[in-house]
């Protein structure tokens, strides 16, 4: 039987900074989210949640990108939705 994963909407990618990405989160539960895998709309794994900061109702999320993900790939994701497993 195939294991079914359920991704949750994380938020919109705002900025690229060195090897980190900054996402404006939506209304989400942040408990246990640190180190969770982050994916693009097309289900490509791009990084892991590194830090959560800012207002409680709509926090910002810092993502450390995975090895092998190029800057060009990430630039195409700016202003797009990202998801967390």
Strands 20-25 and 60-65: antiparallel
Considering the domain boundaries, does residue 34 fall inside one? yes
Q: Tell me, what DSSP letter sits at residue 27?
A: S
Rounded Cα distance between 69 and 3, Å, is 25
Give the tens place of pLDDT for each residue, 46-79: 999 999 999 888 899 999 999 999 889 999 999 9
How many folded domains does the chain comprise? 1
Token readout for 27 is 């209304």
Query: How much is the pTM?
Result: 0.85
Give the tens place of pLDDT for each residue, 9-29: 999 999 998 889 999 987 777
Considering the domain boundaries, does residue 80 fall inside one? yes
Q: Which domain holds residue 20?
A: 8-84
Considering the domain boundaries, does residue 77 fall inside one? yes
Considering the domain boundaries, does residue 29 fall inside one? yes
pLDDT score at 5: 60
Considering the domain boundaries, does residue 54 fall inside one? yes
Considering the domain boundaries, does residue 76 fall inside one? yes
Query: Residue 22's domain is classified under what CATH number?
Result: 2.40.10.230
Helix, strand, coil in percent for the chain, rounding step 5: 5, 45, 50
């Amino acid at each position: 039987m195939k294991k079914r994963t359920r991704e949750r909407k994380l938020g919109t990618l705002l900025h690229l900074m060195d090897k980190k990405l900054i996402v404006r989160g939506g209304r989400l539960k942040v408990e246990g989210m640190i180190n969770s895998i982050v994916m693009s709309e097309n289900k490509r794994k791009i990084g892991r949640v590194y830090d959560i900061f800012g207002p409680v109702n709509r926090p910002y999320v810092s993502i450390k990108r995975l090895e092998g993900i190029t800057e060009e790939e990430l630039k195409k994701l700016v202003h797009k939705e990202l998801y967390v497993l």
